[in-house]
Chains A and B, each alone.
Chain A
């Protein structure tokens, strides 16, 4: 049975390769970027199909943001959905604010939105690869091919100040992602590892190194509780990690940090989950907590919880990764795109809806059925 159904597609106005997309927190807008230096904002409009009277989704371009001199690699919405940060290969990160001018955005008849370019963060020596807002919307992290991670703080006037410049990865850093509730940053690198970072006396230091992948880690995603993490890699595997709190000092575990009371342990691995490099992975924050991955084999893979075994979630001992819920690979949608799929993201407000983009110059909206 086909579990993943395409419900909408965006073709016009996209770069020839679409590298990344991001839903706004309200689930009403999509931001995308690719190899044309701009950021595209898409707005969903519901139209009623004349033939079967069914409501259908259509996406129209609401804005095109242009300031970078080189490609924009990743974008991030602030938690309130009012700001966008864009990481570019021109070594800078731009910040955009959705205009709340009623004349601009609410009372107009057309579907266009107004974004103001309010800041540019410079400092990285080379390409900025990824950008992420923390859950409070005041901290911003960026990472780069220069192997450094920069943490910025935004004040009330939306002025940015650099808090920390951290080193630790031995190679290009592909992405950064904040913990959903705590001030912990995760990063994934070309050096095959994932690192966790935390503020220690004003300096952001690496507190854990997650070793397990055998090639570049392209993407990571936390579960909604923040005690599990999923990662995907050029080694074609997807790994699930679990947080072990307290002094579970087991010398065999993968983390290299001994001083930290937080340890991340590999809890499950899906080897050869795709036939080629896996570029993107996302853990849904709804009650189903599904995982989805995609990559250069053009397919989308769905992972779902195993049917509850004797260890249920109310078990007091559920800190132990061995008792956390197991996942199973439940479905693979082959030929989801006509070429490499670069990114896939769950809609934050509607369970079972997701968007993907790829080298075939399309964004596709999918529904789990």
Chain B
């Protein structure tokens, strides 16, 4: 089970209770009323407490919630078992059932990430558009009202990130450089728990595409379709289990409406389980649905047939932050157009790449992609050394696309894995999914964003434009340093 998570979250294993490996050290708070009690274990395995006056009370099972895990520095996350039980296909199916039975006003929305679509299309051996349409058919058959593509919300994430970067560069936004990408929840979790004191100011405040979709669905769409945010049940399908943790953050919970921006996150591979649980559905045999072109879609329709033809997207199967920010910053800060492909310099391993822009012989923009845990280490190390030295040194990089998984999101922990698990087969699978990512895709250049009128309208009418005060409230978030608990280390040598 542990191998489903990104490598950052894999330092400890789930099914390991033997010392000296990591045990959960989170103290479970139990309301203690009696001091002199006896415990007995009944024949059914339940624990019964006998109070001093002979009364028998069944003891409550001590449980640790996702929020406990997020707030605890005991481990990066041993919450993984908790994580899966809290957000699962079973939970999703139960919600669908209860809505069908007793909540006719509820709206169910599913947002699919393009990386999940690529992995599924590769798994079923069909085109990306076909896969999407068949999946829509399936989801609607089990009670889902709307199916969206997170490429839609990703455009907001890209635009906000670029605006934020330019503002940081011009020092009009009170945050330092380098700016570190914020879309990867594994990385965020790691940064908050282990390097909180000095690394958090560098992390982009822009929400991830998943969480922007959450905001749009709960607070824009709800108004548009005249319902309450809490009446919408929002599920995302993501290449990554760590996204479940992200959705559980208290920053993404609304106290007034008592609702989360994203209610449930399913990984790509859990979609296969969902198909199985709903009568072993053969996805290939399903009809290709007609897509709804009125809301939240990034799809080009054929003008004659009215059928969906291509998705609108960007270069980069990890979200395209590097490329979009690099080109826009070059243009807006220095009036330079990056012609053709970006020339990457590959570092010590293929998961570290960099590119730079020189103006009059001076390096004015220096960008890097740092994927995987070891490259994260080196970035964090560089920032720490720069921060520690009192001299005001120019940062080595201005922007780093940090991702916890080697090869980025296309190789996310939640993607469908190679059958044999061999390294070679896994690498081949990544390549194939990468190809599927670009299939049926109309790649939008940086100048073409926002790619649809709808995105522009939402920006203009709902937020007063990109990186406005309104946009900062709606599309940005904050990070929290988690204090290291002092008793976390029980020494065993």
| A interface, CB within 8 angstroms of B | 19, 70-71, 73, 89, 122-123, 125-127, 129, 145-148, 150, 153, 160-165, 167, 170-172, 190, 202-203, 205
**Of B16, B349, B493, which is within 8 A of A89 by CB?**
B493
Question: What separation, in Å, do the CA atoms of A145 and B20 have in the docked complex?
Answer: 7
**Of A127, A146, A160, A171, which is within 8 A of B11 by CB?**
A146
Question: What separation, in Å, do the CA atoms of A190 and B12 have in the docked complex?
Answer: 15
Are A161 and B493 also in contact (CB < 8 A) when A125-B75, A125-B76, A146-B12 are?
no
Across chains A and B, the number of contacting residue pairs, with CB separation under 8 Å, is: 69
**Of A89, A129, A145, A165, which is within 8 A of B374 by CB?**
A165
Are A165 and B18 also in contact (CB < 8 A) when A73-B493, A125-B76, A129-B493 are?
no
Check A127 against B374 for contact (C-beta < 8 Å).
no
| Interface flag for B22 (CB, 8 Å) | yes
Check B378 against A161 for contact (C-beta < 8 Å).
yes
Question: What separation, in Å, do the CA atoms of A145 and B490 have in the docked complex?
Answer: 11
Which residues of chain A have C-beta atoms less than 8 A from B11's C-beta?
125, 146-148
B385 CB to nearest A CB, Å:
8
Q: What are 25 contact pairs spanning A and B, CB under 8 A? A: A19-B493, A122-B381, A125-B11, A125-B76, A125-B194, A127-B491, A145-B20, A145-B21, A146-B12, A147-B11, A147-B12, A148-B11, A162-B374, A162-B377, A162-B378, A162-B381, A163-B374, A165-B374, A165-B377, A170-B16, A171-B18, A171-B20, A172-B21, A172-B492, A202-B349
Are A125 and B12 also in contact (CB < 8 A) when A165-B374, A171-B18 are?
yes
Question: What separation, in Å, do the CA atoms of A190 and B492 have in the docked complex?
Answer: 11
Question: What separation, in Å, do the CA atoms of A153 and B381 have in the docked complex?
Answer: 13
* Nearest B residue to A147, CB-CB: B21
| Interface flag for B310 (CB, 8 Å) | no
For residues 173 through 199 of chain B, which have their beta carbon under 8 Å from a beta carbon of chain A? 194
For residues 5 through 49 of chain B, which have their beta carbon under 8 Å from a beta carbon of chain A? 7, 10-13, 16, 18, 20-22
| Interface flag for B373 (CB, 8 Å) | yes
Which residues of chain B have C-beta atoms less than 8 A from A153's C-beta?
348
Which residues of chain A have C-beta atoms less than 8 A from B349's C-beta?
163, 202-203
Question: What separation, in Å, do the CA atoms of A145 and B21 have in the docked complex?
Answer: 7
For residues 334 through 379 of chain B, which have their beta carbon under 8 Å from a beta carbon of chain A? 348-350, 373-375, 377-378
Question: What separation, in Å, do the CA atoms of A284 and B219 have in the docked complex?
Answer: 72
Check B21 against A202 for contact (C-beta < 8 Å).
no
A149 CB to nearest B CB, Å:
11
Question: What separation, in Å, do the CA atoms of A73 and B373 have in the docked complex?
Answer: 25
* Nearest B residue to A202, CB-CB: B349
Query: Apart from A89-B489, A162-B375, A190-B20, what 18 extra A-B contacts exist at CB < 8 Å?
Result: A125-B12, A125-B76, A127-B489, A127-B493, A145-B20, A146-B11, A146-B22, A147-B12, A148-B11, A162-B374, A162-B377, A163-B348, A165-B7, A165-B374, A165-B377, A171-B18, A202-B349, A205-B423
Question: What separation, in Å, do the CA atoms of A123 and B10 have in the docked complex?
Answer: 14
B456 CB to nearest A CB, Å:
43
Are A126 and B489 also in contact (CB < 8 A) when A172-B21, A202-B348 are?
yes
| B interface, CB within 8 angstroms of A | 7, 10-13, 16, 18, 20-22, 75-76, 194, 348-350, 373-375, 377-378, 381, 384, 423, 489, 491-493
Question: What separation, in Å, do the CA atoms of A146 and B375 have in the docked complex?
Answer: 18
Which residues of chain B have C-beta atoms less than 8 A from A147's C-beta?
11-13, 21
Which residues of chain B have C-beta atoms less than 8 A from A165's C-beta?
7, 373-374, 377
**Of A145, A161, A190, which is within 8 A of B348 by CB?**
A161
Which residues of chain B have C-beta atoms less than 8 A from A203's C-beta?
349
Are A164 and B374 also in contact (CB < 8 A) when A126-B22, A190-B20 are?
yes
* Nearest A residue to B349, CB-CB: A202
* Nearest B residue to A164, CB-CB: B374
A261 CB to nearest B CB, Å:
18
Which residues of chain A have C-beta atoms less than 8 A from B7's C-beta?
165
Check A172 against B378 for contact (C-beta < 8 Å).
no
Question: What separation, in Å, do the CA atoms of A298 and B227 have in the docked complex?
Answer: 77
Which residues of chain A have C-beta atoms less than 8 A from B12's C-beta?
125, 146-147
Question: What separation, in Å, do the CA atoms of A34 and B492 have in the docked complex?
Answer: 14
Check A145 against B377 for contact (C-beta < 8 Å).
no
Which residues of chain A have C-beta atoms less than 8 A from B16's C-beta?
170
Which residues of chain B have C-beta atoms less than 8 A from A146's C-beta?
11-12, 22
* Nearest B residue to A124, CB-CB: B11
Question: What separation, in Å, do the CA atoms of A146 and B190 have in the docked complex?
Answer: 15
Check B21 against A171 for contact (C-beta < 8 Å).
yes
* Nearest B residue to A19, CB-CB: B493
Which residues of chain B have C-beta atoms less than 8 A from A150's C-beta?
374
* Nearest B residue to A174, CB-CB: B493
* Nearest A residue to B20, CB-CB: A172
A27 CB to nearest B CB, Å:
28
Question: What separation, in Å, do the CA atoms of A71 and B20 have in the docked complex?
Answer: 17
B341 CB to nearest A CB, Å:
23
Question: What separation, in Å, do the CA atoms of A19 and B384 have in the docked complex?
Answer: 31
A69 CB to nearest B CB, Å:
10
Residue among A70, A125, A164 with max Cβ neighbours from chain B (10 Å)? A125
Question: What separation, in Å, do the CA atoms of A162 and B21 have in the docked complex?
Answer: 23
B398 CB to nearest A CB, Å:
20
CB-CB nearest 3 A-B residue pairs = A202-B349, A162-B377, A162-B374
Question: What separation, in Å, do the CA atoms of A123 and B194 have in the docked complex?
Answer: 9
Question: What separation, in Å, do the CA atoms of A79 and B358 have in the docked complex?
Answer: 41
Question: What separation, in Å, do the CA atoms of A126 and B423 have in the docked complex?
Answer: 28
A342 CB to nearest B CB, Å:
10
Which residues of chain B have C-beta atoms less than 8 A from A129's C-beta?
493
B89 CB to nearest A CB, Å:
28
* Nearest A residue to B373, CB-CB: A165
Which residues of chain B have C-beta atoms less than 8 A from A122's C-beta?
381, 384
Question: What separation, in Å, do the CA atoms of A164 and B75 have in the docked complex?
Answer: 21
Which residues of chain B have C-beta atoms less than 8 A from A160's C-beta?
381
A299 CB to nearest B CB, Å:
21
B492 CB to nearest A CB, Å:
7
Which residues of chain B have C-beta atoms less than 8 A from A172's C-beta?
20-21, 492
B231 CB to nearest A CB, Å:
42
Check B350 against A202 for contact (C-beta < 8 Å).
yes
Which residues of chain B have C-beta atoms less than 8 A from A89's C-beta?
489, 491, 493
Question: What separation, in Å, do the CA atoms of A205 and B13 have in the docked complex?
Answer: 19
Question: What separation, in Å, do the CA atoms of A148 and B375 have in the docked complex?
Answer: 15
Which residues of chain B have C-beta atoms less than 8 A from A148's C-beta?
11
Residue among B16, B20, B22, B381 with max Cβ neighbours from chain A (10 Å)? B381
* Nearest A residue to B193, CB-CB: A125
